[in-house]
A and B are shown apart, each in its own frame.
Chain A
């Protein structure tokens, strides 16, 4: 009976991975530049100097690979933080990393005093500085969270509440900055930046995100799977099994923040994936993190790739940023999953 169930979970996970791989060429073939699936596969394996090859390699493939990697980061980070905090609402998003990053962008633009939108593209004179500020502000928010947790000794529940409250204050400061200092173009740039857009990422930035995730983020989350199961059942039970829950909470927050902050600083705010992916994965493979963690990662990749593909095709040639798509699709999906989960006795 147990073997049957484990096999079922393995099958679900493999199917989702397979689905994601299938989605890559399909997604590449969709968009304003029409091409057949066969042509796409041809230039994927044999790149040439044709316009199609340029579209595939320079535009679409990069954003789809970014969707897969960043989706997996968000899905994994969501599952890990929800478990380590024992709170289904905890995620990098609710921890205020995104609003902190947005504030960082506004500050960077103020210092740079320059930026514009040209042909629906953000044009910032120094994109690297903008990303750096987004990253630094995300890390600042993480430090505040950690200080609250370890110095002020807040419980996991109070921590999530205060993180949400702090993110509101970031928003207030952002509005104040926009009101006082930024001109119309800069306000538009900041707003535009907050609509996460995978098309923004460059190959070198993608390499950095992918390397960090493959070397640190993904292995850490997978390695801690059993510990997340333990912490879910209680800190004392975890301690009695030789595991230090405070240490794991600290490490998890840092690793999740590192991955999310890095991704957010390059592509902007992508909401809800870190909340939806773990909930959806939990309904498919249950709560044990041995399967939940990888499933949640793949689910994140799948949701982000699908959202991006939809965003590129619904009103082509206009591309709807993926951050808007995930929120549009994500909210009803999340409510549906929670209702469905409730019917299955899921209280967490």
Chain B
């Protein structure tokens, strides 16, 4: 079954600041969509709106043509998994306990055998089974990132939302996360990520949305969005783009 996420004319205001101003997007099963843009462009806000944890002032998010506001919170939680940029690290929670919280939408009282199996599978996918008994406080930045992804996967989502998935990762794990996201999307998962790293976004995405001051500045395929003109206008920096390697870096060091 094809899954679709559509955002239509979403507006979000933080007091007098327009965080999102008429943003629309469409993405379906197996696609990876990157949301790029400078700090404060509205990337994380858009992810929260898609996830339903932030209600837009105007506009609608549709999941399979059904408005998100008509779907119960728990149902949305079953279908979407979010990987936030950071989490609170308190209370000596073990990796296993933390990943189990990803199963919350399925659990009424106590986790079942199936929930335990799903947690194990999710940890296996991100290669973190051996971390299961460690506390979150004991993990390195990269390990923590993988565990947060495992938590989202434990909920068997149809849509995976990632907020800056590479920010804590070294090069090796960036590549591994890239492979992981690609393999998940090949199985039909929708991936939407807010990301700063333009090269990473270039290499991984099927579609791209460039935001600036809460508005869609450009949308389309990565090579259509990541043009020298667009980057210069939105970031105020002259880029060096090497299309054959899908590389975007500042032209001036």
Contacts and interface: CB of A to CB of B under 8 A. Distances in A.
A-B interaction? yes
Contacts of A226: 100-101, 104, 107, 111
B89 A347 contact: yes
A7 interface: no
B247 to A, nearest CB: 33
Place the interface of chain A in its size category: 35 or more
B132 interface: yes
Contacts of B130: 1
B180 interface: no
A240 B92 contact: no
A15 to B, nearest CB: 20
A346 interface: yes
B90 A2 contact: no
B82 A233 contact: no
B104 A241 contact: yes
A236 B48 CA distance: 9
B135 A286 contact: yes
Contacts of A346: 92, 135, 137
B14 interface: no
Given A242-B104, A346-B137, A237 B90 contact: no
A230 B137 contact: no
A341 B92 CA distance: 9
Given A230-B101, A237-B84, A242 B73 contact: yes
B178 interface: no
A contact patch SS: helix
Interface string B128-141: 01101101111000
A1 B123 CA distance: 13
Interface stretch (A82-90, A114-122, A167-175, A328-336): A82-90
A204 interface: no
Contact of B104 (A243, A287, A344): A243
A2 B101 CA distance: 16
B53 A242 contact: no
A226 B107 CA distance: 9
Interface of B: 48, 51-53, 72-78, 80-82, 84, 87-94, 96-98, 100-102, 104-105, 107, 109-111, 116, 120, 129-130, 132-133, 135-138, 155
Interface of A: 1-2, 5, 82-83, 86, 88, 223, 226-227, 229-230, 232-234, 236-237, 239-244, 282, 286-290, 341, 344-348
10 contacts: A2-B116, A5-B133, A226-B104, A229-B93, A234-B88, A237-B82, A240-B77, A240-B81, A347-B89, A348-B92
Given A86-B88, A241-B105, A282-B91, 14 more contacts: A5-B94, A229-B100, A233-B87, A233-B136, A236-B84, A237-B82, A237-B87, A241-B102, A242-B76, A242-B105, A289-B97, A341-B92, A348-B89, A348-B90
Closest 6 CB pairs of A and B: A348-B90, A288-B97, A242-B77, A287-B92, A242-B74, A287-B91
